[in-house]
Each structure stands twice: as structure tokens, then as C-alpha cells.
Structure 1
Amino acid sequence: MSSNSTADNLCAPDDNLCIVREHEQAVIIVPTLLLLATLVTLLALCLMRYCHERKQTRITSPQHYRNSSRRHTQRRSHRHHLQGIDAPPGINPMEHEELPMSVQQVHQNVRPTLAAVPQMSTERHHGAFSQVTALPLSFSIKPDDTVSLYRARMDNRDVILRVLKEPANSSEKQHFLGFASFVSGLGPHPFLPALLGVVSVQVPLMMVVEELQHKDLLGFLWSCRQDNSGVDTSCDMTEKRLFTMAGQVASALEYLHSQRCIHGNVGARSVLVGGDLTAKLWGLGSAYCRTKANSPEEVEDMEMRKWQAPEVLGRRAVSQSSDVWSFGILLYEMVTLGDPPFAQLMATELLQYLQRGKHLKRPATCSNSLYSIIRSCCHWNPQQRPSMSELIRKLQAGEKSANGRTVIRVPEPLDIEKYLREAGYGEAYNYAVL
């Protein structure tokens, strides 16, 4: 029997109130609930569309940057010095959209992650960068396929933009930001290049580092070698200047050791030289990789064997004493104006050579006091090598008595192919550190 007939049986034909109550659920409540559900669904869809539009306005595509750049250029056509800038995609020096630049602080004994961002951060915006141009890699052997380098001006100073190429996968992004976090966690030091900021919110990801005019020390030494005429006084490498610059690198290395960080890649290629000939230690990639690696062998291919201490060549752990050995090799590079160490040997022969008690030969341009420091750094027994504090004292004493007038000259011209062969690392390696 139908519901209508049931209601008729329960209610008198003229009792309208009774009939309404019997049909209340089917006629009133159910349609009302359906109407409310429809309204809630429409409201949710509207909110989702509104939030999506807001997000699009905050995260603007690189194509929008280029279009807005054209409009901005038309409005400010008098800024001719910014026209024709070779900027990477997404970097528009004439755009003034604010871009947060955050740096994650980490301790050296903790692996960096991307989860936490500290409250203290350095923020920049796209308009802060001007005169962005591609940076040619001096003496580059194997360019980094994931990073592009650009010169720029920011806050009236020259900077280097270390830009992660697009498209980059999540692992490359994590490595890039992890390295920036690692460098930031080291803190400031007068003889470490200053990290001025990190673009970590929008692509392209960037590290902003101060630019040092003479770039890497190895290239600077080669320039001094070629300038035998003495026209360029900035290339007049005297023994006194050598002691000064070596002391600056040693100060940075001592600071890294105090932060429980082993550099592991000390050499002229890993030192940058400023316009005032201040030397600053860089090349921290292997130190960062060591914080992630499970064993020293995992970072072995990032270091060049002829700069490694014998215990490292023997696949034992890298230590602070290993850095001291490499520092002695750096002194050899400086006094020879960029000669490779152990040039007469193949890299695979070096460990056996050292096991027989052999050592670096004294260069003709090296004084007795400097050579004694080199020999003490390159002692076979790690315990017999000086500590960094003792080494700094020796360098300071040597600086006081060093010859500051006689310029170090090497008559042999630079032969890059010969250097690569004698240095023992060839095209499979890259010593471009920025």
C-alpha cells in the first residue's frame, strides 16, 4: 500500500494538519537538505578558485617577468645601461617584486635538511640585482651541469649569482639549498667569501656571494707568471706577500677546524683573491659532501690526489692534519707561481713514492724558512705536522723577516696541457670552485 493511502487511513479527509505532518519528511526536510548541500558545494568551489587566483598572482611565471620587463623598459627607457642584459630565465634586474631570500642555519655535525627555515634570514628582491651578465669560467675543465654563474651588482657591490639551472630535480634542489645552508652555518669570517643571501622560495634558486676581483688563486699565480715585464704591479708576488696571503688562508682553515669542519680540498684552485690581494678560502663543496657521505670514499673523486695526504691516499679518514698537508702543497704552488706538485710522478705512483721517504723538492724560488714550513706540513706522520695555530705563528714570524722587494719570477711560460697532465687529474675533474 502506498504512503498516500497510509496517510489517508491515519488522518481524516478534512484534517489538513495531520496530512502535512505525515508528509513532512518527504516534502520539506529532504529538499531542504539537498538545497543546503548544493549551496555548500558551490561555496567550496568558489573559495578554491579564489585561492588559486591569489596563488597565481604571488608566483609569477618567467614569461610574465619577460613581458613585464618589456613594459617596465618602456616606462623607464632612460635606463640604457640595463638594456641587453644576459640574465638567466626568471632573473630580471629591472623587476621590483620582492623575493624572500632565506638561509637555513645548521650545525656541522647535523645533516642539513629543507624542513626548517630560521627566523633570522636575509631577504632580497629581483630589483636588487642589476647588470646581470654571464660569468666566463676561467681555466674551467669540466663545467658544473647543474649551476650557472653570473656577475651582478647588488647594494653597490659586485656579487656572484650561483644559479641552479632549470629544470632541476628534487635531489639537485636539496643539494643546492643544503650547500647554501652549510655555508651559512659556518658563519662570517674575514677570510671566507661572504654569503650575502639565498633565493630559496622561487625559482631559479640562487646563492649570492661576494665577488673577488682576481678570482681563483691558481689563475692569479699564472697571471703573475706571464707578467714577467712587471707592468702589472698587482702581480708582483714577493715572499712577504706570499706569507701574508698564506696566513690569511691558514686563519680561515683554523676557523673551519674550530667549527669541526674539515676542508679536504685545500689548494690554489680553492682560494679566491680580492682586488686588494686578500686571500679567502673557498671550495667548500667536498666539506659539505662529507657531512652527507657515509664514508670518505664517497667524496674521493672530488679531491685531487696530488694534494692529498698519504693517509688519505691510503683510504684512511680525512683529518685536520690532512688539511695541513694540503696547505703545504698550497705553499709550494704559491712559491712556484702555479706549478703542480710532484710533476714528475703519475698520481697513481705518489703513495709509493712517499712511502719510500721521498718528499717535495725545494723550488729554486723558495727560501730556507719557507721550505722548512712546507716540509713540516708535509710530514709523513700526521702527529708530526704542526697544528693550525702553530702554523699561523710560523707564518707570522716568516712574514716579518721575509723579502718584500724581490719579485718571484718563473721564466717558464704556462702550458695548460702540460699542467693538466702533470697535475694528474685531467678532464675528469673540475677546479672551478664558484
Structure 2
Amino acid sequence: MSSNSTADNPCEPDDNLCITREHQLELIIVPTLLLFGTLVTLLPLFILRYCCRRQRTRVTAPRYHSSTHRHTKTHNHRHHLQGIDAPPGIDPLEHEELPMTVQQARGNVKPTPTAVPQMSTEMHHGAFGEVTALPLSFSIKPNDTVSLYRAHLDNRNVILRMLKDTANSSEKQHFLGFASFMSQLGPHPFIPVLLGVVSVQSPLIIVVEELKHRDLLGFLWKCRQDNSSYDMTEKKIFTMAGQVASALDYLHSQRCIHGNMGARSVLVGGDLTAKLWGLGSAYRRRTQASSPGAVNDMELRKWQAPEVLAGRPVSQISDVWSFGILLYEMVTLGDPPFAQIMATELLQYLQRGKYLKRPATCSNSLYSIIRSCCHWSPQQRISMTELLRILQAGENSANGRTVVTVPEPLNFEKYLREAGYGEAYNYAVL
């Protein structure tokens, strides 16, 4: 018996290491394999259960609160609409009220590419009514990224600048950056009011006040018509020019350059208040490291100062030159400047000492201001401070009874040719 026991158990009774080695399969390896197998089996079960629970939570989470998001009975089936986008087959522009979120702009936000006004007020459903597409006019170029709509908000008409769904990330940053730029400019009586920005949902929208008569150029053309209910007098020219000059001076005080001055960049309200617009170029110059000097758009050349035509950067004093051209447009009821000169030959024309001729409808006082603005030498042009003073004095002394008239009716094709636009655009003149 003792010999058999010794053969089966070669280890001494007190040799623990030998005993452990002899029985390691039963004591270590098998339990370890069983534990590992259990963990491998339980881990996928826990993962599947956790994911399913999160998915169920996401699906059942309520999207709207019934107390704050309630449609009229007419549009109960459209509770999921966001902004003015709609499912395929539904026209979102049928004078209906649609849900919209508007963030009120604040004037102390830095214009970073992705920043938007921080203090916001969320509008309730149906804040916007009578949403209709805005017809394009001569002064509104077709844009591949932005659509324009008219709407009604809080008993006032507004314009919605809506970013199209096809816009890429860079265009979205530019869109929101321009909104921040506008809010950072702050309020000014002669710059259109930024009313809000839709930035928390698609489509992104900038909301600005609507001015009844739209762009000044179209308004001047209306004043040419025999049956026009609006008359342009010298006093009104001084008044409206002073308003635009005040906005331009404010823009310069914010270290901005407009770079796109002209009647097309001025909006006219129902009370004939003029407000400076066309601020996209000012935003681009603010965000770029350096201002480009060359004029890429041929249609802008006849409004640009000679140093800009020569390839030098746009400056605040070159805005003064363009303001003089704006005055010329006003006294001629929308005639193009340098009508008999080709845009490509304008710089050579000015280099020879030529200048804008006095129109028959222009008084000596207004023409002297035009010449002071459009001096060949930037250093000899009138300052904004002096310009504002002269315009104020002219408004006080100007004739408010004699109406400015132009014998020739508007010839649109002739205008395009003389203004340097080339081929006519395919949209209406309003």
C-alpha cells in the first residue's frame, strides 16, 4: 500500500510547490478558462442591452412641448416643419404661417466666422406670416447660396435672407459670420435694422427690416415716370445724401470700408429715408488679411476711384469718390456716370485730367460737392466731416419746390451698355 501511494503521489507531504505543479490543471487552468468564457459571454449581452435602451430613449423623447408649439387646425398635419422648408410636394410659400426660430441680434458680438449673436429670443410657431419669394430686381444679382423672401413679423414687413440647403460648410460660416458682423456694427438710424438670425436649425436665415421702395436706383427710375407719385427735389437729394453720408461716416468710424457705394447699394423706406446697404463687400474686407485692389466686376468700374482702377487697395477715401458718383446718380435720376466712356478706358480718361461733366439738372452747389468728392488726388478730396457739414447746410437752404426732371425715359439696354454691364440680366426691373 505504501509503495502504491508513493508511486501515485511523487511529492513529499510538505512540498507545497511540487503539489501545486502536480495539480495545476485542476486548480488554475480550468477555473481561469471558465472565468474567461463567462466574461466573453456576458460582455456582448451587456453591450446589446445598453445600446437598445439608448435607442428606445432617443425614439420616445418628445420633440415639442404641446403648450409652446401649437398649430392652428388648418396646419395640424405640418407640425414637423422647420423654418420655411417643407416636405416634397408641399409649397411653403402659400401665404401660410410657419414655425420659425429667430435670435435677436446683439451689438457687442465679435464678427468671427462661426460666431452668431449670443442673446436670443425664440419665436413661437407662426411668428412669420405671408412668406413669399422676393422678386429679383436689377440691383439684386442671382445668388447660388442665398434666397430672398418677404414675410410679416410683429406687424411689420421683413426680408428673409435664407441660406440654401446646397451651401457647403464654408458658405455657412460666411453666412453666420456676416450676421455677426451686422450685429457687431450695432444700430444706426440709416443702416437697415438686423431683426434676428435663425442659427439653431436649418435653413439658416438672416432677418432684416424691409424698406418699401427697395433700392435707390429703382426709386430714381420711378421718379422719371410721368405718373410717378414721388417727386425728387434738390432738398430731398440733400436730405437723402446726408443720411447715406452719416451711415458711411459711421461705417468708417468702425474701421470698415464699404467699397460698393452707389444708388444700387442704398435702400429707400416708405417715408423716403435712405439707408446704406450692400455691406457684403465691407464684411469680406473685414475678414480678409488685405483688401484687393483690382476691380473684378466690370459693372463696378465706373463707380470706383482711379487709384482702385489702377490696382491699389480700396480705402475710406475711395469711398468718398464713390459717394460723389452716387450724388451724380441722384441729380440725373439714375443715369450712369461717364456714359460715353467705355469702362475699360475710364482710367486713361481720368489720367488725362477729365472729370464728370455737370448735368443739366444739377445745381452749382450740388456739382461743387461732386467735384470735391471726385478729385483725382485722394489727399485733396473732401473729408467726411466736411462733407456732412456741407450736406446739412445745403439741406437747410435748398429749394424744396422745384422738381428734378429728366426729359428722356429710361432705356434699360442703353443703361446697361453705358454703365459697363454688358449683356442685359434676365430679370425684371422694379
Q: TM-score, normalised by structure 1?
A: 0.81
Aligned to 2:113: 113
Q: 2:14 — aligned with what?
A: none
The 3 A distance-change label for structure 1 pair 173 and 21 is closer
Aligned length: 392
Deviation, structure 1 residue 294? 4.6
| Counterpart for residue 103 of structure 2 | 101
CA drift of 1:119 comes to: 3.3
Pair 1:289 & 2:284 matched: yes
Secondary structure, counterpart of 2:182 in structure 1? helix
Q: After superposition, give the CA deviation of every residue in 1:208-244 in whole Å (9 maximum; x if it has no partner).
A: 1100000000000000011x34x51xx2110001100
* 1:328-372 alpha-carbon deviations (Å, 9 max, x no partner): 000000000000000010011111111111111111111111111
SS for the counterpart of 1:400 is: helix
Shift of 1:300: 2.9
Matched with 1:263 is 258
Distance in 1 (CA, whole Å) between partners of 2:209 and 2:157 is 6
Q: Which residue of 1 aligns with 2:271?
A: 276
Which residue pairs with 1:44 in the alignment? 50
Distance 2:316 2:139 in 1: 28
Which residue is equivalent to 1:148? 147
For each residue in 1:253-288, what CA deviation from the matched residue of structure 2 results, as whole angstroms up to 9, or x when unmatched? 000000000000010000000000000000011112
Q: Please name the residue that 1:372 is paired with.
A: 368
Rounded Cα–Cα distance in structure 1 between residues aligned with 2:266 and 2:335: 15
Between 38-47 and 338-347, the greater mean CA deviation after superposition: 38-47
Whether the 8 Å contact between 2:97 and 2:130 is mirrored in structure 1 is no
* SS of equivalent to 1:266: coil
**Do the aligned residues in 1 keep the contact of 2:213 with 2:268 (CA within 8 Å)?**
yes
User: Do the aligned residues in 1 keep the contact of 2:220 with 2:333 (CA within 8 Å)?
Assistant: yes
Taking CA–CA contacts closer than 8 Å with sequence separation of 6 or more, which of the two structures ends up with the larger relative contact order?
1
Q: Is the 8 A contact 1:101 1:121 kept in 2?
A: yes
Alpha-carbon separation, structure 2, partners of 1:33 and 1:105 = 59
Aligned equivalents of 1:31, 1:213: Cα separation in 2: 78
Q: Specify the SS of the correspondent of 1:272.
A: strand
Q: Secondary structure at the match of 1:333?
A: helix
| Structure 2 CA distance for aligned equivalents of residues 278 and 38 of structure 1 | 71
C-alpha displacement of 1:178: 1.8
Q: Is the 8 A contact 1:150 1:162 kept in 2?
A: yes
Distance in 1, Cα, partners of 2:29 & 2:373 = 101
Structure 2 residues without counterparts, runs of 5 or longer: 1-7, 10-17, 21-25, 65-70, 80-88
CA distance in 1, matches of 2:74, 2:172: 27
User: Is the counterpart of residue 381 in structure 1 residue 387 in structure 2?
Assistant: no
Q: Does 1:411 align with 2:407?
A: yes
CA shift at 1:35, angstroms?
5.2
CA distance in 1, matches of 2:416, 2:361: 22
423-432 vs 183-192, which moves further: 423-432
* Structure 1 residues without counterparts, runs of 5 or longer: 12-18, 59-65, 75-83
The one of 330, 342, 347 aligned to 1:334: 330
Contact 1:92–1:127 at 8 Å: present in 2 too? no
1:399 Cα deviation from its structure 2 partner: 0.6
Q: Look up the match of 2:76.
A: 71
Deviation at 1:175, TM superposition (A): 1.9
Question: Is the alpha carbon distance of 1:322 and 1:253 closer, same or farther for their aligned partners in structure 2, counting shifts above 3 Å?
Answer: same
Aligned to 2:387: 391
From the two aligned structures, give the one with the greater helix fraction: 1
Partner of 2:86: none
Q: Distance in 2 between matches of 1:94 and 1:398?
A: 47
**CA apart distance, 1:101:** 3.0
Cα deviations across residues 280-333 of structure 1 (Å, max 9, x unaligned)? 000011112223445443773357000000110111111111000000000000
Residue 148 of structure 1: how far off its partner (Å): 1.2
Distance change in 2, residues 1:358/1:95 (3 Å): closer
1:165 aligns with 2:160: no
Q: Determine the structure 1 residue equivalent to 2:224.
A: 225
Q: Which residue of 1 aligns with 2:301?
A: 305
* Whole-Å separation in 1 of the counterparts to 2:256 and 2:394: 27
Aligned AA (2:254): Q
Residues 1:401 and 1:205: Cα distance change in structure 2 (over 3 Å): same
For the structure 1 residues 183 and 141, does the alpha-carbon distance in structure 2 shift closer, same or farther, using more than 3 Å as the test? closer
Contact kept in structure 2, 1:289 and 1:299, CA below 8 Å: no
Q: Which amino acid aligns with 2:296?
A: D
Flag the 1:45–1:236 CA change in 2: closer, same or farther, 3 A: same
Larger radius of gyration: 2
How far apart in 2 are the matches of 1:398 and 1:340? 24
1:102–1:200 Cα contact (<8 Å) kept: no
Normalized against structure 2, the TM-score is what?
A: 0.81
Partner of 2:85: none
Q: Is the 1:271–1:282 Cα contact (8 Å) retained in structure 2?
A: yes
Indicate the RMSD between aligned Cα atoms, in angstroms.
3.5
Q: Give how far 1:52 is off.
A: 4.6
Task: Sort the Cα spacing of 1:430 and 1:271 in 2 relative to 1 into closer, same or farther, 3 A.
Answer: farther
Q: Please report how far the alpha carbon of residue 26 of structure 1 lies from its aligned counterpart in structure 2 after TM superposition.
A: 4.3
Q: Once the 2 structures are TM-superposed, how far is the Cα of residue 112 of structure 1 from its aligned partner? A: 2.5
User: Matched residues in 2 for 1:340 and 1:22: separation?
Assistant: 96
Residues 196 and 390 (structure 1), Cα distance of their counterparts in 2 relative to 1, 3 Å cut: same
Q: 2:211 maps to which residue?
A: 212
* CA-CA distance at 1:398 after TM superposition: 0.5
Q: Is the 8 A contact 1:86 1:133 kept in 2?
A: no
Residues 22 and 261 from structure 1, CA distance in 2 versus in 1: closer, same or farther, beyond 3 angstroms?
Answer: closer
Q: For the structure 1 residues 20 and 298, does the alpha-carbon distance in structure 2 shift closer, same or farther, using more than 3 Å as the test?
A: farther
Q: CA deviation at 1:49?
A: 1.5
Indicate if the aligned counterparts of 1:216 and 1:271 stay in contact, CA closer than 8 A: yes
The question of whether the paired residues in 1 share the 8 Å contact of 2:116 and 2:177 is answered with no
User: Identity of counterpart residues, as a percentage?
Assistant: 68
